[in-house]
Amino acid sequence: MAPIKRIGVITSGGDCGGLNAVIKGVARQAFSEGIESVVIPNGYAGLYNLVDFDEVVLLSAERISKIEASLAGSEAGHSRVKISKIDDPQKYERIKKGLKKFGIEALIISGGDDTGSVVVDLSAQDIPCVHVPKTMDLDLQPYSVGGDSAINRIATFTRDLKTTGMSHNRVVVIEVFGRYVGHTAFRGGVGAEADCILIPEIPVDFDVVYENMKSTYFNRILRSDVKAGTYIIVVAEGLKNASGEMLYDESAGVDAFGHKKLAGAGKYVRQQLEKRLKSDPDVPKFMKETGMLVPGIYVIPEVREVTPGHLVRSGGSYAYDVNFGYRAGAAAVLLLVAGKTGNTVVDLIGKKIEYVSTAEAIKRREVDLTEIALFEGLGICFGRKPEKFACELSEVKGRIARRL
């Protein structure tokens, strides 16, 4: 393959933390390899329409200095467009014409599973491309930029909500993004010392949640000298009930990738708890004992759901994502130069660039339930009867691969 002279950078799917570091990592590494890099704006929508553009933005040293790596979101913009779904039999020819028009010989594309499936697609169409894993959901096989920032923000919001929960003696249910997996709810919830964390990997038994809430939260208030307490539940949006059905609101519709928009899991959890609080004969006694009971006005503890929504992937990028984004962006350029098209960057450790085929990288990764059992033993409720953590010991021989 002749040396690449110009590459295009695309970010696609949902935005998140660390993407601007990916863009800067790509641009700076490309520059030191003598390659120009340009932005293809707004994800695959921009790639499809590139042929109609008059110009593209060159990521010169001056232009990239205007990009703030510690800000979330992407300077390259996003869309939820999947090329294979475009109803145009000439779509790949159109894309190739657009790339030719601007002398773009290869692509670096940062995105999640849907984005990655297009990388597989484009590689099969002989368009050289390398994938940088990105999704706050953390559902790819390798670490994906944006995950740590989302976890930190979930932990911060959850911890912050304790003050208002505590002041009103409310049960607070926080519904967070994550699609069909619970990585960010789990890690963010643990980070904030939530009492209960509900994730899609564990179909929830609401009787278990209720009993845990009752014993933890009721005792917390009863033991408090000022009769104050809260109970914090972090819920992943893709939650399932005990029969394995997803608990989202059907009326939310679908996104441009064709995925159901998930919303409503928090509301469902609130309703399940309220139903049990209303019918539990112990509740009036508890309300009386804590001095909270006001007949006709305040007869059960309040349960509120809060949905931070897009806030968990907005605002700032945490330092880990800036670090990972920079090195994954740079590694992607080096993979392209080495002709490793159709692959996903895993990481750069020392001088070793780890990569995997994109088809493999985008296989869904779920939360490992063996680790959940450990946290159940440490007192967090996961909406099922706690399971015993069975540990295994393993001595590491040789060099320990470090990521930080």
Rule CB under 6 A: which residues touch ligand F6P? 14, 80, 112, 135-137, 177-179, 237, 255, 262, 313
Q: Is the dihedral of CA 199, 203, 204, 208 positive or negative?
A: negative
CB of 327 to ligand F6P, least distance (A): 22
321 part of the active site? no
Between 255 and 274, whose beta carbon lies closer to ligand F6P? 255
Between 312 and 322, whose beta carbon lies closer to ligand F6P? 312
Q: Residue 97: which of 38, 46, 49, 39 has the closest Cα?
A: 49
**Which of the following is catalytic: 137, 148, 195, 321?**
137
Between 98 and 182, whose beta carbon lies closer to ligand F6P? 182
Between 110 and 135, whose beta carbon lies closer to ligand F6P? 135
Between 136 and 303, whose beta carbon lies closer to ligand F6P? 136
CB of 67 to ligand F6P, least distance (A): 21
Q: Given the structure tokens 């921009």, which residue do they identify?
A: 46
Contacts 24+ apart (CB under 8 A), 88-95: 91/48, 92/122, 92/125, 92/127, 94/48, 94/51, 95/47, 95/48, 95/50, 95/51, 95/122, 95/125, 95/127
Amino acid at position 19, single letter:
L
The two structure tokens encoding residue 367: 């939360």
CB of 178 to ligand F6P, least distance (A): 5
Q: What is the DSSP string of 232-264?
A: EEEEETT-BBTTS-B---GGG-B-TTSPBPP--
Sheet holding 343-349, edge to edge: 57-58, 36-39, 6-11, 106-111, 129-133, 343-349, 352-357
CB of 195 to ligand F6P, least distance (A): 23
Report the residue number whose CB is nearest to ligand F6P.
Answer: 177
Please, are residues 38 and 104 in contact by the beta-carbon 8 Å criterion? yes
Between 257 and 286, whose beta carbon lies closer to ligand F6P? 257
Please, are residues 381 and 156 in contact by the beta-carbon 8 Å criterion? no
Beta partners for residue 353, in sequence order: 348
Whole-number Å distance between alpha carbons of 236 and 184: 8
Beta partners for residue 198, in sequence order: 235
Whole-number Å distance between alpha carbons of 269 and 264: 9
CB of 235 to ligand F6P, least distance (A): 13
Between 47 and 262, whose beta carbon lies closer to ligand F6P? 262
CB of 184 to ligand F6P, least distance (A): 8
DSSP state of 81: -
SS (H, E, C) 138-172: CCCCCCCECHHHHHHHHHHHHHHHHHHHHHCCCEE
The two structure tokens encoding residue 48: 């499809």
CB of 201 to ligand F6P, least distance (A): 15
Q: Which residues contact 400 (CB under 8 A, 6 or more apart)?
A: none
CB of 237 to ligand F6P, least distance (A): 6
Between 19 and 337, whose beta carbon lies closer to ligand F6P? 19
Whole-number Å distance between alpha carbons of 80 and 96: 20
Catalytically annotated residues = 137
